[in-house]
Structure 1
Amino acid sequence: MSKPETVAGLGRQELASFVTAVLAEDLGTGGDVTTNLTIGDGLRLSAVIATRQDIVVAGLELGVAFFRQLDPGIKIELLKSDGERAARGDVLMRLEGNGRAMLSAERSALNSLQHLSGIATLTREYADKIAGTGCTLLDTRKTIPGLRVIEKYAARMGGATNHRMRLDDGVLIKDNHIALCGGVERAVGLAKASEHEIQVEVDLLEQIELALAAGAERLLCDNMSAAMLREAVKIVGGRVPIEASGGVRLDTIREIAETGVDFVSVGRITQSAPAADIGLDYSPA
């Protein structure tokens, strides 16, 4: 089976740098002193990584990369794929290799797998809530610094569509831009120098026609109630796509999606997802 061009959204060089940096953070300059003192250099171990809760898997190949970095000859069998659901007790991968290397890589691999699977699992809950509405779930830039690429990868595995990865991915004129420019017309006018679609944030219904007249090509309705969103959809009348955002929760997202908006963005899926309960168990090889 050919290796993917990217792993958890990371290219080959990005992956190598990420794995090296994470292992260096955990191993320090002295290495895993406990393992090196207590585990024989030639000991081989078998292990299984299994989930202890129902999850959506994300980050398997990233986890593999940590083990391979310390033991290039390790044998690994993947039993699940990223984006796949796994039930409590399911084995995600089997490993056999150098005991010292496996123990030393364990925490970095599990941290990554638990974090990304946690994001994918929560994202899937949100995506399932709006299934059949025709509304698309988006993530946001509310990510842990340095982890955006892999966190947004996990969101995709859970069923979300990525919004802007970086600030250079699109134009989003927010209230601060409008205030500092002296009005929405001037802000949009200046933004037309870009080749990007121009999205304008509105938080009041009366701002909608002003934004559209200025040339907005997409609206972000921020912190609007479901009733306001329904009215916003009527006002826009299909002229531009509408995204709803701000304080969206699992118990409110369905009602928001059913207002007729095209997109709903949720910061919680990357910002507040709990880590998945995934463990590793050893036995002599």
Structure 2
Amino acid sequence: MDPCPLPDLMIEPIIRAALLEDLGRAGDITSDAIIPQDYRTHMVITARQHGVVAGLDCARLAFRLMDPAIQFRPAARDGAKVGPGDIIAHVEGPGRGVLTGERTALNLLCRLSGIASATAGLVEAVSGHKAQIVCTRKTTPGLRALEKYAVRAGGGSNHRFGLDDAVLVKDNHIAIAGSVREAVARVRRHAGHMVKIEVEVDTLTQLEELLALGVDAVLLDNMSPETLKTAVGMVGGRMITEASGRVTRESAPAIAAAGVDLISVGWLTHSAPILDLGLDTH
């Protein structure tokens, strides 16, 4: 998949903050001591395992912010599949700047590529079914835009980005309101006509109550594939159906086979393993 890149304006503050965190109060005292100021280097970022790339613009900006003289030339693109030994990018320029920016560039590139790779694995697992893999708000604070971008690079889609772009009525909201009906009524009095409403249900009884209210989507939480199939039949296409709860690559095919439209997966952004990438001399 070739995702639409995020503008530098959105990414740069994140990269700048990460670099400043690493530079601390005195800069890179190791590289400054060892590497002559006029020393130039040519290095490559390579994959050390199979996966999907995401975050090349983050790496590019990390090196550029360290030294505008550094040239970053991608040899792959976000969304591309790579394997051990594949060159992902060439990095050329002042050696001090390259080594100083290395860790920030790789931290973000490995993290985002890991999310993209995990997403691609789930997308592959449900191929042949209509279900889309979507992420959640369980993201690293400050990195949500990047992590949700990485999900798209892996072939997935995004759930809501924050609390303000869609309504999601969950079990605690229902408990406080007293019922599904009352929770939805309160939302409709408060939210604008452009805001979509999704409601989480745990049982088919709650779903039956919800069907009479005509909302946009239902989140079917922690239901077995058999119960999901019954729920999808009850909905009959009248709203979007989303399954969630302890989804793995092994369980995803059965969930998708139940006929749901979406499968939301929190661990894609909160605990996907990194993709192992390295920066080496060329």
Give 3-state SS (helix, strand or coil) of 2:218's partner. strand
Give the structure 2 partner of residue 266 of structure 1: 265
Give 3-state SS (helix, strand or coil) of 1:160's partner. coil
In the alignment, structure 1 segments of 5+ residues that lack a partner are 1-5
Is 2:138–2:266's contact at 8 Å kept on the other side of the alignment? Answer: yes
Aligned residues: 276
Give 3-state SS (helix, strand or coil) of 1:94's partner. strand
Q: What is the CA–CA distance in structure 2 between the aligned matches of 1:16 and 1:54, rounded to whole Å?
A: 28
- How far does residue 188 in structure 1 lie from its aligned partner after superposition? 0.5
Give the structure 1 partner of residue 224 of structure 2: 225
- How far does residue 177 in structure 1 lie from its aligned partner after superposition? 0.7
Q: Deviations over 1:95-114 (max 9, x none)?
A: 11000000100000000000
Identity %: 45
Q: What is the CA–CA distance in structure 2 between the aligned matches of 1:272 and 1:226, rounded to whole Å?
A: 24
> TM-score when scaled to structure 1?
0.94
Give the 3 Å change call, closer, same or farther, for CA 12–78 of structure 1 in structure 2. closer
Determine which of 127, 138, 148 is the counterpart of 1:152.
148
Q: How does 1:246-261 map to 2 (within 5 A)?
A: 246-261=245-260
1:70 aligned partner, one-letter code: M
- How far does residue 75 in structure 1 lie from its aligned partner after superposition? 2.2
- How far does residue 133 in structure 1 lie from its aligned partner after superposition? 0.3
Determine which of 92, 96, 117 is the counterpart of 1:121.
117
Give the structure 2 partner of residue 83 of structure 1: 79
Q: Deviations over 1:133-154 (max 9, x none)?
A: 0111111111111111100000
Question: Aligned-pair RMSD on alpha carbons?
Answer: 1.2
Q: What is the CA–CA distance in structure 2 between the aligned matches of 1:15 and 1:155, rounded to whole Å?
A: 16
> TM-score when scaled to structure 2?
0.95
Is 1:188–1:215's contact at 8 Å kept on the other side of the alignment? Answer: no
Is 2:243–2:264's contact at 8 Å kept on the other side of the alignment? Answer: yes
- How far does residue 210 in structure 1 lie from its aligned partner after superposition? 0.5
Give 3-state SS (helix, strand or coil) of 2:280's partner. strand
Q: How does 1:64-83 map to 2 (within 5 A)?
A: 64-83=60-79
1:69 aligned partner, one-letter code: L
Q: What is the CA–CA distance in structure 2 between the aligned matches of 1:214 and 1:61, rounded to whole Å?
A: 44
Give the structure 1 partner of residue 199 of structure 2: 200
Give the structure 2 partner of residue 3 of structure 1: none
- How far does residue 47 in structure 1 lie from its aligned partner after superposition? 0.2
